[in-house]
Amino acid sequence: MNLFATIVEFERYSNVTYYSVQFEDSDRTETDKFFDNLIGLDRYREQVDELVWWIEEIGERGAEYDLFRDEQLAFALPPKSQFLREGDRIDVRLYFHFVSSNVIILFNGGVKTARSVQQCPNVRPHFMNAQIYIRKLQEIGIETDNNEITNIDELYFRL
Amino acid sequence: MRSFDKIRQRVPAETKIYISKALDIREQVLAILDMKGWSQQDFAKKMGKSESEISKWLSGRHNLTIKTIAKMEALLGEDVLVTPKRYGRRIFSVDEASFKSTSFSATVKKTRERSTVQAIKVMARVTRLKPGRGNLPMAVS
């Protein structure tokens, strides 16, 4: 692929700033692509609406990692099923890097159609990419001050 | 406009309230446990429930009934749910001016980072009220 990726601010709330990854060949972040893909899917409308509001509420309150789905190096939204209404089946996954309670880097995701991530062609590539992005970012080292990444200009990598 | 913003605008009020309440209840119970120095395991033992059941209660996966909340409140000796009527709307009107004042709002904002229980205590101090039923403002979270 050999594409150049940077980290850009996605959305800022009282207690969490969300960032995302953007590739040089795209005018949208990876997280924008995720929402662009899902906004028109009526079947998942309720899940997508809830996901956006989890982002909003967590943004206002601060993030606690025990809320989220553990996806190896990454985490995923929406929160673990235990934090959702009984009987709900949640198929949508948005992967992210939990940098701190106040800084989150959102990636891409999709609709999970198989029992395991490995078996799902929709989310597997995004899950794999999330692991790669996090490794790259960990190699560089993310510096933060409260809800701000202070070395954002240094956070670029090639894939 | 970004899709994210379009979706944010269309989120139904019910969804917003559900997510907010689920987090409110979780934060409130965890704050009380923290104040009492109890772990979730201690709480489970005292409730005569398994830890996983309590984890479920605290999370929102369980659709909590009033009865379950009452059980929790009885054991904790603290309110998990607070209604405006119970805590007196008159207090809100009396202190509306101070609630709107910058210093008071700043105090509330700061205390949001702490537990709700602690926040209520701080608010009571600011409004020079003695903690107790019927005289505390409730809208912290």
Collapsing DSSP to helix, strand or coil, A76 comes out as: strand
Provide the pLDDT confidence category of residue B55 given band limits of 50, 70 and 90.
confident
Asked if A61 and B2 come within 8 Å (Cβ–Cβ), the reply is: no
Q: Which residue of A has its CA nearest to B14?
A: A50
Structure confidence by residue, pLDDT tens digits, B91-134: 554 444 444 444 444 544 544 544 455 555 545 544 444 444 44
Rounded to the nearest angstrom, the gap between the alpha carbon of residue B50 and the centroid of all alpha carbons in its chain is 24
> In this structure, what DSSP letter does residue A100 have?
S
CB contacts, 8 Å: A62 with chain B:
113
Q: Which residue of B has its CA nearest to A27?
A: B2
Nearest Cα residue to A72 out of A118, A31, A36: A118
Q: Which residues pair with A157 in a beta bridge?
A: A5
What is the structure's pLDDT at B81?
85
A89-106 mean pLDDT: 94
What is the structure's pLDDT at B129?
44
What is the structure's pLDDT at B51?
85
| Per-chain mean pLDDT for chain A | 92
Count the Cβ atoms, other than its own, within 10 Å of residue A95: 31
